[in-house]
Structure 1
Amino acid sequence: MNETQLSKRPSNEAISEDILNIIREKARALRFGAISLTIHDGRLTQLEITEKRRFGQ
């Protein structure tokens, strides 16, 4: 994408404080794993959490 194409994209909207709080809460609760954010047209549309559980021998 060149600079002209980038400038024609819609401006990103701010992520609401409620959504940021959910992301923080999920991150604090996660011991081992990953959090994936899905963005469509510059907007956050999905949050996925993959949790790993490890068991001792």
Structure 2
Amino acid sequence: MGTRSDQIPSQDRSDAMATVADALGRLRYGVIQLTVHDGKLMQIDVTERRRFAG
């Protein structure tokens, strides 16, 4: 079974949440993808979409 969130150090959770919030705050259109292994956030991928009228 995966690691419960209360077993992850609070600083690690805070850093991860701050990183996700920062990415969300900067993104206007696109995707934020979180990669989790064994209940721990391992990677954040941000894909921004830019469309041009034409």
Report the RMSD for the aligned CA atoms in angstroms.
Answer: 1.5
In the alignment, the residues of structure 1 paired with residue 52 and residue 2 of structure 2 have an alpha-carbon distance, to the nearest angstrom, of 47
Q: Which runs of 4+ in 1 moved over 2 A?
A: 10-15
Q: Which has the larger Rg? A: 1
Pick from 4, 16, 28 the counterpart of residue 12 of structure 1: 4
- AA matched with 1:18: D
Q: Assess if the C-alpha contact under 8 Å between 1:12 and 1:43 holds in 2.
A: no
- What residue number does 2:48 align with? 51
Structure 1: runs of 5 or more not aligned: 1-8
TM-score w.r.t. the length of structure 1 is 0.72
In the alignment, the residues of structure 1 paired with residue 3 and residue 16 of structure 2 have an alpha-carbon distance, to the nearest angstrom, of 19
- What residue number does 1:34 align with? 31
Q: How many equivalent residue pairs?
A: 49
Q: Assess if the C-alpha contact under 8 Å between 1:39 and 1:45 holds in 2.
A: yes
Structure 2: runs of 5 or more not aligned: none
